[in-house]
Amino acid sequence: MSPRRLALVAATVVVATLLAAWGTSGALRIRAIRHEITAAERDIEALRAKATALTQTIDRLRNDPAYIEKLAREEYGLVREGETVLKFPSRPK
C-alpha cells in the first residue's frame, strides 16, 4: 500500500472514530435532555393541578359563606352566638 493511501485510510479511521465517539455522547446527551423534558412536563402538570385547586379555593372564599363558616368552625373553633359547645376527652390509644 502506498504511503499516500495509508495516510488516507488512517485519516478516515481517525475521523470515523471521532464521529462515533461524538455520536455516542451526543446520543447520551439527547437521552438525558429527553428525561429532563419529561420530568419538567410532569412538574408543569402537577403545578397546573395545584393552581386549579387554589383557584377553586379562592372562588369559594370569595363567594361561598357556608365554606367560610365551615373553615371558621373547624380551623378556629368559632361558634355562633347561643350555641353550646360540648368537648369530649380524647380516647386513650
47 in any annotated domain: yes
* Angstrom distance (rounded) from CA 70 to CA 72: 5
60 in any annotated domain: yes
Query: Looking at residue 4, what is its pLDDT?
Result: 84
Q: What residue numbers bound the domain in which 69 lies?
A: 3-76
8 in any annotated domain: yes
57 in any annotated domain: yes
15 in any annotated domain: yes
Q: Where do the H-state alpha helices sit in 1-93?
A: 3-63, 65-76
34 in any annotated domain: yes
Query: Looking at residue 24, what is its pLDDT?
Result: 67
Could you give the number of structural domains in the chain? 1
Query: Looking at residue 68, what is its pLDDT?
Result: 94
* Angstrom distance (rounded) from CA 72 to CA 78: 6
Query: Looking at residue 22, what is its pLDDT?
Result: 67
What is the residue-level pLDDT of the chain in tens, covering all 93 positions?
A: 788 888 888 888 888 877 776 666 777 788 899 999 999 999 999 999 999 999 999 999 999 999 999 999 888 888 888 888 888 888 887
28 in any annotated domain: yes
